[in-house]
Structure 1
Amino acid sequence: MAGTSPSGTGVTPQSDGVAPKLLAAMKRDLGLSAEEATARINRAAWASGVATQLRVTSGDAYAGSWLGADGTTLNIGITDESLAGAVRAAGAQPKLVERSVAELDSAKKALDGTATKADSDLPGWYVDVAANKVVVKALAGDTDHAKELAEDAGLPTSAVKVVTVKEAPRTLADVVGAQPYFIDLDGGQARCSIGFAVEGGFVTAGHCGAAGTETTDFEGLDQGVVAASVFPGDADMGFVQTGANVGLQPFVDDFKNNALPVGGSTEAPVGAAVCRSGSTTGLFCGTILAKNETVNYPEGAVTGLTRTDVCAEGGDSGGSWFSGDQAQGVTSGGSGDCTVGGETFFQPVTEILETNDLTLLTTTAGAGGGASTPPVEASTAPPAEATTPPADNGGHHHRRGHHR
């Protein structure tokens, strides 16, 4: 949020513990009580610190981390059974696997390097640490194409899993002309959503304007200019440098007249609960499904995105993703919508900050961080009443000349 509100009304900052509206959204979308939702958020923050520590101590034998389906069990993949004791001592469950995370990442990079324009009809590929394989997505009837790409990349069949998806992803900028802003494009105007306030402006999606593009706020007033943008390619990230008249605040609008606090940017693990807010659909929550995914959009491939089961729609692009009060990323694209559901990808915010040497604006009372002991798991309790989100606006293949 950059000091504006789409309704022209103020929003109320919330900074004590986990914001009630966020807990209500997690109840609605994940079926969690307030106690369970808070426990999930705290557990994810703890897991991030433990996974980082074990990645260092496990060295080349580290094979990734993920939270189980219960959202509380931290699993650590290892290729050396002698490390199991250290993993258990840290409060996690060891999983002995064949391939290290470095080997999986290398296999995924081989797919990135082998793919040509002819492979853009494959929705994408990613590392599945829980399966200890690289997954290639294909539309119905196109699985042979996915297997062909993996073969041409030199990957053994045992290291690859092909999954069929119903729909190809798309970017979520809304060309019709977590608070909206606008950019002028040839033939019309695009609406996107602000990600997070940083010193000097805000971060957003790269497809929401090339460098040098001027932006306006919801009232049509001059807001700023896109100072940096990457899309497609290695990321979908942008930075808008705002004018002196724009107030920058460390909050996210939930579109229910509440400002949710931003306390930091500790990265949540696979399996963690995550929420997002955008100017079209408001606040929705779900689960992180995979990281470092390559996504083939109509505009080109983007690498390094995080996949979730949270819905989103046109105009939500650039909007805020967070786990508790910890910033996670900005909306890139996806498939489906918030009526039937779908998948959405986000660009990790830490990469945007590091690449552009930006400082995230945060509240003084950040919840989250690296606890040294596992948080207590919540008992089952009756869920609180949930709030309602704002209304919606708005074959066969031959060899493709891959180079090994």
Structure 2
Amino acid sequence: RAEGATPVLVEHALADLEAAGTSLDALAVDGLYGHYIDVERNTLVVEAADEAVAAEAVDAAGIDPSLVSVTAAEAPELYFVRGGDSYIIENSWRCSVGFSVRQGSTPGFVTAGHCGSAGDQVTSGEAAPGTFRNSVFPGSDRAWVAVGSSEPLYDEVNMYSGSRDVANANQAAVGSSICRSGSTTGWHCGTVGAFNQTVNYAEGTVTGLTRTNVCAEPGDSGGSFITGNSAQGMTSGGSGNCSSGGTTYFQPIGPALSAWGLTLVTT
């Protein structure tokens, strides 16, 4: 006979495994997290908190237990997008989410341009996986990341002890109180010192930044600056730290929204 795949006689028909899975779909059992067909093992894998939960579900669905194998699993959680949360770029370095945005029907978030170049991948972290669509650095320090169409966008900033709703992007005046959220140091506050700050980073010069006396540290980059419920911008860089204090500059959010046709997600 011609060479090729070798037929294997299996115990359970694929149709039987699929029917068992459909029966589980109709159930709502606490601790039952999911299921899939493992074709190679010829079994319906049931993911549950423990074997007792799986057995309860299989019994309630009227499934032949011989069709099933059980895998202990943790409760799955949705990825989401929220200001101040962490994200990892290319499995290598960490930054923070600025604010949730949309470009038409495409969801995403704004962040700092120095966090990634167009095409770079957000591979893990608290934020949803995505792709840098646009990024400018140096000159400016702004970027936006597109995430999957089903990912929830939160209209808030993580205060690391509660959250702050985002209502608009009205610019705060010099002298105004302002707070910052970032995945390294959390929530810190201070005042707006000056607009249109030019900063000469080693990687290049950035203009149009806003100066504050809020502290920040590496990994806080890209995170949210907010006054009241008004989005102000995304952490760029600075000096000092959150032990001794420091100066931090942020990229105003307006240029990112206007340049790329983004809409801020608000309450």
Assess if the C-alpha contact under 8 Å between 1:230 and 1:237 holds in 2: yes
Bigger radius of gyration among the two: 2
C-alpha displacement of 1:239: 0.3
Q: Residue type of the partner of 2:152?
A: G
C-alpha displacement of 1:249: 1.2
Assess if the C-alpha contact under 8 Å between 1:254 and 1:260 holds in 2: yes
Matches within 5 A, 1:139-218: 178-184=84-90, 189-199=92-102, 200-218=107-125
Assess if the C-alpha contact under 8 Å between 2:81 and 2:109 holds in 1: no
* Partner residue, 1:240: 145
Q: Does 1:299 align with 2:203?
A: yes
Which of the two has greater helix per residue? 1
Matches within 5 A, 1:247-396: 247-256=152-161, 258-363=162-267
C-alpha displacement of 1:4: 5.5
Q: Give the percent of matched residue pairs that are identical in Structure 1 and Structure 2.
A: 51
C-alpha displacement of 1:218: 1.6
Assess if the C-alpha contact under 8 Å between 1:334 and 1:344 holds in 2: yes
Q: Secondary structure at the match of 1:355?
A: helix
Cα distance in 2 for residues equivalent to 1:338 and 1:296: 22
Q: Secondary structure at the match of 1:354?
A: helix
Assess if the C-alpha contact under 8 Å between 2:82 and 2:153 holds in 1: no
Instruction: String of CA shifts for 1:222-247, please: whole Å, max 9, x gaps.
Output: 611000000001x1000001112421
Instruction: String of CA shifts for 1:14-72, please: whole Å, max 9, x gaps.
Output: xxxxxxxxxxxxxxxxxxxxxxxxxxxxxxxxxxxxxxxxxxxxxxxxxxxxxxxxxxx
Unaligned runs of 5+ in 1: 7-177, 364-404
* Partner residue, 2:47: none
Q: Residue type of the partner of 1:263?
A: A
Cα distance in 1 for residues equivalent to 2:88 and 2:136: 18
Question: Which piece of structure 1 moves more, 243-252 or 338-347?
Answer: 243-252
Assess if the C-alpha contact under 8 Å between 1:336 and 1:342 holds in 2: yes
Cα distance in 2 for residues equivalent to 1:241 and 1:359: 13
Q: Residue type of the partner of 1:255?
A: Y
Q: Residue type of the partner of 2:195?
A: K
Cα distance in 1 for residues equivalent to 2:180 and 2:164: 11
Which of the two has greater strand per residue? 2
Q: Secondary structure at the match of 1:250?
A: strand
Assess if the C-alpha contact under 8 Å between 1:322 and 1:329 holds in 2: yes
Q: Secondary structure at the match of 2:114?
A: coil
Cα distance in 1 for residues equivalent to 2:147 and 2:170: 25
TM-score, normalisation: structure 2:
0.66
Cα distance in 2 for residues equivalent to 1:4 and 1:288: 26
In structure 2, the CA distance between the partners of 1:330 and 1:222, relative to structure 1 (3 Å rule), is: closer
In structure 2, the CA distance between the partners of 1:270 and 1:5, relative to structure 1 (3 Å rule), is: closer
In structure 2, the CA distance between the partners of 1:356 and 1:253, relative to structure 1 (3 Å rule), is: same
* Partner residue, 2:129: 223
Cα distance in 1 for residues equivalent to 2:151 and 2:115: 19
Cα distance in 2 for residues equivalent to 1:5 and 1:303: 27
Q: Residue type of the partner of 1:180?
A: S
Q: Secondary structure at the match of 1:249?
A: strand
Q: Secondary structure at the match of 1:211?
A: coil
C-alpha displacement of 1:216: 2.2
Assess if the C-alpha contact under 8 Å between 1:223 and 1:246 holds in 2: no
Q: Residue type of the partner of 1:276?
A: R
Cα distance in 2 for residues equivalent to 1:4 and 1:332: 19
Cα distance in 1 for residues equivalent to 2:148 and 2:123: 11
Unaligned runs of 5+ in 2: 1-78
In structure 2, the CA distance between the partners of 1:227 and 1:284, relative to structure 1 (3 Å rule), is: same
Q: Secondary structure at the match of 2:115?
A: coil
C-alpha displacement of 1:3: 2.1
Aligned length: 185
Cα distance in 1 for residues equivalent to 2:166 and 2:260: 19
Instruction: String of CA shifts for 1:250-284, please: whole Å, max 9, x gaps.
Output: 1101112x221000000011111111100110111
Q: Secondary structure at the match of 2:116?
A: coil
C-alpha displacement of 1:5: 7.8
